[in-house]
Amino acid sequence: MGFVALPTPRGLLLLFLAAAAAAVAWVNAGLITAFTAALLCAVVLSGFLMAQLPFAGLRLERRFPRDGSCGEALYFDIAVHNRLPVFRQSCVLTENHPFCLSEQSAFVIPPLGPRETFSATCRVKAEKRGVYFLEKVCLTSGDPLGLFRKKKCFHLPAQVEIHPRIMPVESLAAVSKSGGLSDPEGRNQGRAGSGAEFFGVRPYRIGDEVRHIHWKATAAKGRLMVKEFEASAVDQIVILLDTEKRSASREPGGSNFEFLVSCAASITEYLGKKYCHLRFAAAGKDGSLLHLTGDASSVRKKIERVLLDLQESDLAYSLVLEAVAETVPPRSIVYFLSMSARAVPDFIGILEEQDCTCFWIFAPPENFPVTEPDKPRIVDRTKVRASLPAHCMPDIADFATGPEILESRNGHEKI
């Protein structure tokens, strides 16, 4: 769609001068006044006419954009084709990118030669996760003198998915409590399970995965045999994510809620390559309970889809803990990702009685202050720590916290 060319500030000034010269020539007829008025009017009229056709013969083509993650640079390629055998002056390409803090991006298209094609690559930084639909791209140009400006929008639909930021985690903090078997001398023995180390072979049972069939043993035995693996040191891992709206900070570029979503995504991404059972729970925007469970490799994609556009909820985090706590198997590794300290210590105590290992990552809203121009972001860490119970001290996060909060610590084994 196109719009009528509108005068720029320079064009308004020249219009005023042309109108004034025409009025003077009308009142005081003379060669000089008439020539001046005619010249100014001719310049204004020619500029207006040239500004009506800056996009004639131009065709825009979008190259399919790739999905990305928060914090990454995304590149959007748009080809501008000049289909006419004439030169075209420069113009400005603009597009709204709702996943950026500054939602509109601009790119200058240089003058195009006859039948020339220029590929504009716009680089933007993704800062808001979710599924976004791009509808149109606009070109803005005018006459060579800059008296009038015209804008035309081209319908170029596209869909972009911005996933949560994945922090590079080398090893997760965890303690082995899966209760491995011991030999008569007290040394740990392996046991059959779903780990990564080969344990032995056994006859095929209904429900076994085809990829675990041991073909050499099958040929030797004359019946289907499957590989059995040693049980993993960590069989059950639970992620309990806090989405309670009243505890979330208002910083658009990096709230405590977004930090915890990133933590959940990073843990899920890491465990997706491991042999373990993963359980995820959080409250949805509509107050429903989102509860996903399964083998980490299979349930990872489902959790990633939930985290893609998960929003803050009115449902209290304590209700999520209450609903899920009864389903947590004994000796599990439980990650509490919370924005408030309400009820978390009580549930940690309950789960520790079931021989569970609990890790609490606490991201209070006061540790994620709103960014203000020319003012540093300051966090009083001692104040937050003093308000927490001494017997249940979490790992406290703030706006500068990195992946180290998820890494293994002294006395903790690596998953």
pLDDT above 90 coverage of the chain, percent: 45
Q: Which has the higher per-residue pLDDT, 221 or 381?
A: 221
pLDDT band with cut points at 50, 70 and 90 for residue 186: very low
**pLDDT, average across residues 276-283:** 93
Separation CA 23–CA 40 (nearest Å): 12
Q: Which has the higher per-residue pLDDT, 315 or 414?
A: 315
If you average pLDDT over every residue of the chain, what do you get? 84
Q: Is 331 left (phi over 0), alpha (psi -120 to 50) or beta?
A: left
Of 167, 166, 168, nearest in space to 68 by CA:
166
Of 233, 227, 236, 229, nearest in space to 192 by CA:
229
Q: Is 196 left (phi over 0), alpha (psi -120 to 50) or beta?
A: alpha
pLDDT band with cut points at 50, 70 and 90 for residue 389: confident
- Structural contact between residues 174 and 414, judged by C-beta atoms closer than 8 angstroms: yes
**pLDDT, average across residues 394-401:** 90
The pLDDT value recorded for residue 209 is: 72
The pLDDT value recorded for residue 177 is: 42
Task: Indicate if the pLDDT at residue 176 is higher than 50.
Answer: no
Of 390, 348, 344, 383, nearest in space to 365 by CA:
383
Question: In sequence order, what are the residues at sequence separation of 6 or more whose Cβ sits closer than 8 angstroms to the Cβ of residue 72?
Answer: 125, 126
Among 21-25, 87-91, 252-256, which is the least confidently predicted range?
252-256
Structure tokens given for 259: 């930090």
The pLDDT value recorded for residue 342 is: 86
- Structural contact between residues 239 and 268, judged by C-beta atoms closer than 8 angstroms: yes
Radius of gyration of the chain (CA): 32
The pLDDT value recorded for residue 407 is: 79
What secondary structure letter does DSSP report for 385? H
The pLDDT value recorded for residue 173 is: 66
The pLDDT value recorded for residue 183 is: 36
The pLDDT value recorded for residue 185 is: 36
Task: Indicate if the pLDDT at residue 165 is higher than 70.
Answer: yes
Span 94-125, pLDDT tens digits: 999 999 888 888 888 999 999 999 998 888 89
Task: Indicate if the pLDDT at residue 193 is higher than 60.
Answer: no
The pLDDT value recorded for residue 408 is: 60
Span 68-87, pLDDT tens digits: 999 889 988 999 999 999 88
